[in-house]
Structure 1
Amino acid sequence: MTATPTLPKSDIKDTSLAQQGQQRITWAGREMPVLAQIRDRFATEKPLAGIRIAACCHVTTETAHLAIALKAGGADAILIASNPLSTQDDVAASLVVDHGIPVYAIKGEDNDTYHRHVQTALDHRPNIIIDDGSDVVATLVKERQDQLSEVIGTTEETTTGIVRLRAMFKDGVLTFPAMNVNDADTKHFFDNRYGTGQSTLDGVIRATNILLAGKTVVVVGYGWCAKGVAMRARGLGANVIVTEVNPVKAIEATMDGFRVMPMAAAATLGNLFITVTGNKHVIRGEHFETMRDGAIICNSGHFDIELDLVALKEMAEEIRPVRPSTEEYRLKSGKSIIVLGEGRLVNLAAAEGHPSAVMDMSFANQALACEYLVKNKGSLEPGLHSIPTEVDQEIASLKLKAMGIEIDILTAEQQVYMNSWSMGT
């Protein structure tokens, strides 16, 4: 009789969902050849042997492949959710049951549970923190000063998290190196633009089943994520308005062919509003007041505070669910505002997040950033560090190879010319 394996201590919804989760993890793996190659190398070389890793990420099929690669590399890794609505419970179950990876994540978990899981991640006494928004690092700095000396470094892949890390370093509290995965070319050019662009509209369509053609879509912000949303919305036939606070980005949006105006003006015109800023209260009470009846609002930036939902609740006389991930706020004025995914990331709250093909590169960066921190332990200064160019190039080359695409190589003569100042025209 075969003994039942002992499962790692975890906090998930239901272990019986594991088979379904493993099927979905396997399907996602078809589109993640780069991370698969890194996992295979890790399994042989064990570059993370003896390293404790706490990963705070969206618990999805793609993240599962990162966690599996880290374990293959010898890491003692645990995983918690970075967003209460993004967890795929079947994936969490499979990671625990099929792969022996401790997971603390339940779709829909309340704030108390989320913060308890953050503490659990720190109870693991991590040497490396993989963060999504820097909540774990911020908690460590504020509440676990005694553990700082154990930390080799952190990796961060969101714009919001990088902003917070810069602020920590400026205030002198970030005392270890942080790898800026977000700004790697093979991350933000693809994950932010193509991943967020497609998955955001996927979430909107799943939640509402609206036709985007002919609608006026207001995209709040024009960073890489917002560029992707605006591009994909226009591709589906929407009339796109962009609001910005950065004059350079506003000019760029204008030259990309979008109408640019302040939110006060856009609020009266939009049918669908998508915030993609990483900032706070970019859509507020005064904007809700002037919106059309039935206007739809959602967030694809980071935290739900991009939308001032407290103000909206105060303006509402009734709040009721009308579809999965869709709530109607009926205002005292008689009109309605529709909120998707409780204001959290709509691509994860109402859909499945980014396609696996782009997360392949993002998580390849995460895995190689962890390896880089270990290899350079003690030699990296505190503060933000870019992903080395050679790592970025390696990931891009592996992706092209997997896609069956070949490119040119500089000749010896061209290399000399590109590195010389004395050769003229």
Structure 2
Amino acid sequence: MSNYDIKDMSQAEGGRRRIEWAEREMPVLRSIRERFEKERPLAGVRMSACLHVTAETGNLARTLQAGGADLVLVASNPLSTQDDVAASLITHYEIPVYAIKGEDNATYYRHLAAALEHKPQITMDDGADLVSTLHKDHRELLPQILGGTEETTTGVIRLRAMAADKALSFPVVAVNDAMTKHFFDNRYGTGQSTIDGIVRATNVLLAGKVFVVVGYGWCGRGLANRARGMGANVIVTEVDPMKALEAVMDGFRVMPIIEAAKIGDFFCSVTGDINVIDEEHFAVMKDGAIVSNSGHFNVEINIPALEKMSVSKKLVRPFVDQYELKDGRQIHILGEGRLINLASAEGHPASVMDMSFANQALSAEYMVKNHAKLEKRVYSVPEEIDREIARLKLLSMGVTIDTLTDEQVKYLNSWQEGT
């Protein structure tokens, strides 16, 4: 194959072992792949996927390929690529991949262009960079697009903004909205993998430290609970009164971020918004504060403002930049402000990505079958897909549940009987 751009093809064998290890924890996706191999629901469909190139994504790519898709895969984040997986997908599965861990912005957008040169009929995004680039710079390709899918909260927010502006030119399924995605991937996956990334990057003990979680959505809920489980004293900051109230009821301290900034040892943003950790917060942080992000884009921490406040910057550990301020205080930024769970760790565990990527595969199949009757807007994953994934996951875990009797079904669908 000549249509690829990766770091080192010699790493392919290690990548295959990593993909096979992840597959052991992805039984739902494996069962979908077995059906796809027989039915070929994506036969001949050109797909361009802009996702984190990890072992788990490798198994999704294999599933789409098994369904007959003509697939190109590019990275959705410059620091999240597992280079050995990229090499294996090319060598062992003949899937074109454009992804290099640590690639600069120019390379990142060149890879996005390669995905669009494939002239996709279905887009698969994690953050909506592929869709936004398509709409801004390659509008000539829009008439052939059947639809797309979107993996993450940030991307869904962007796509809904496009739809509200009537700028979205094809239907997109918001995979992130599936209950089998955000209940599990965002809460358990982000919670565990973010702590993993912070600990790998710093090797600093969390127990007894003050850990500030900025944002209490599903990712923030998971992160706060995992930090508490490691013995940290957790503070939550929020702008939504309902989420703030929930955090209080869950047993966390809640306060404005300007107050939390004065006492926090660790900070992690999970909001999907810009500059939630800003200049005024850096100005009052402790010496040695550790600041990270687990939201999709590296905009949640205002690093340009920190650079202006600093007299020096140096890399003190892999993925740890130390900024020294004029008064001598030092603030540490992890992973260049990018997704720390993928920058210094390996992302979500395979068992939760099993459900997320099952949603991706089945949503792609749904889009191919139903695109002609869908409007140019963002759709939730159909409930029957969500329930089927939950059923398959329980089956793979050896868990059985009850079913309603005919009498119970009749009662639930009637109104005559009362007290």
What TM-score does the superposition give when structure 1 sets the normalisation length?
A: 0.98
Residue of structure 1 equivalent to 2:343: 349
Encode CA deviations 1:74-123: one digit per residue, 9 max, x unaligned.
Answer: 00000000000000000000000000000000000000000111111111
Shift of 1:59: 0.2
Name the amino acid aligned to 2:189: G
Residue of structure 2 equivalent to 1:81: 75
Q: Does the aligned pair in 1 maintain the 2:171–2:371 contact within 8 Å?
A: no
Match of 2:379 among 375, 380, 385: 385
Residue of structure 2 equivalent to 1:22: 16
Residue of structure 2 equivalent to 1:192: 186
User: Unaligned stretches of 5+ in structure 2?
Assistant: none
Identical columns (%)? 62
Shift of 1:351: 0.2
* Equivalent-residue separation in structure 1 for 2:323 and 2:156 (angstroms): 33
* Equivalent-residue separation in structure 1 for 2:171 and 2:33 (angstroms): 24
Q: Is residue 224 of structure 2 the alignment partner of residue 242 of structure 1? A: no
* Equivalent-residue separation in structure 1 for 2:335 and 2:231 (angstroms): 24
* Equivalent-residue separation in structure 2 for 1:418 and 1:209 (angstroms): 54
Q: Is residue 112 of structure 2 the alignment partner of residue 118 of structure 1? A: yes
Match of 1:182 among 163, 176, 179: 176
Match of 2:145 among 147, 151, 159: 151
**What are the residue-to-residue correspondences of 1:133-152 with 2, within 5 Å?**
133-152=127-146
Shift of 1:336: 0.2
* Equivalent-residue separation in structure 2 for 1:218 and 1:286 (angstroms): 16
* Equivalent-residue separation in structure 2 for 1:155 and 1:247 (angstroms): 31
SS in 2 for 1:378: helix
Match of 1:364 among 358, 370, 378: 358
Name the amino acid aligned to 2:217: G
* Equivalent-residue separation in structure 1 for 2:410 and 2:159 (angstroms): 40
Q: Does the aligned pair in 2 maintain the 1:8–1:96 contact within 8 Å?
A: no
Encode CA deviations 1:187-215: one digit per residue, 9 max, x unaligned.
Answer: 00000000000000000000011111100
* Equivalent-residue separation in structure 2 for 1:423 and 1:145 (angstroms): 58
Residue of structure 2 equivalent to 1:261: 255
Shift of 1:377: 2.5
Shift of 1:423: 2.4
Residue of structure 2 equivalent to 1:42: 36
* Equivalent-residue separation in structure 2 for 1:422 and 1:213 (angstroms): 57
Moved over 3 A (4+): none
SS in 1 for 2:205: coil
Q: Does the aligned pair in 2 maintain the 1:328–1:339 contact within 8 Å?
A: yes
Residue of structure 1 equivalent to 2:88: 94
Residue of structure 2 equivalent to 1:221: 215
Residue of structure 1 equivalent to 2:55: 61
* Equivalent-residue separation in structure 2 for 1:408 and 1:8 (angstroms): 53
SS in 1 for 2:74: strand
User: Unaligned stretches of 5+ in structure 1?
Assistant: 1-6
* Equivalent-residue separation in structure 2 for 1:424 and 1:42 (angstroms): 48
SS in 1 for 2:64: helix
Q: Is residue 101 of structure 2 the alignment partner of residue 107 of structure 1? A: yes
CA RMSD of aligned residues (A): 0.7
Q: Is residue 398 of structure 2 the alignment partner of residue 407 of structure 1? A: no
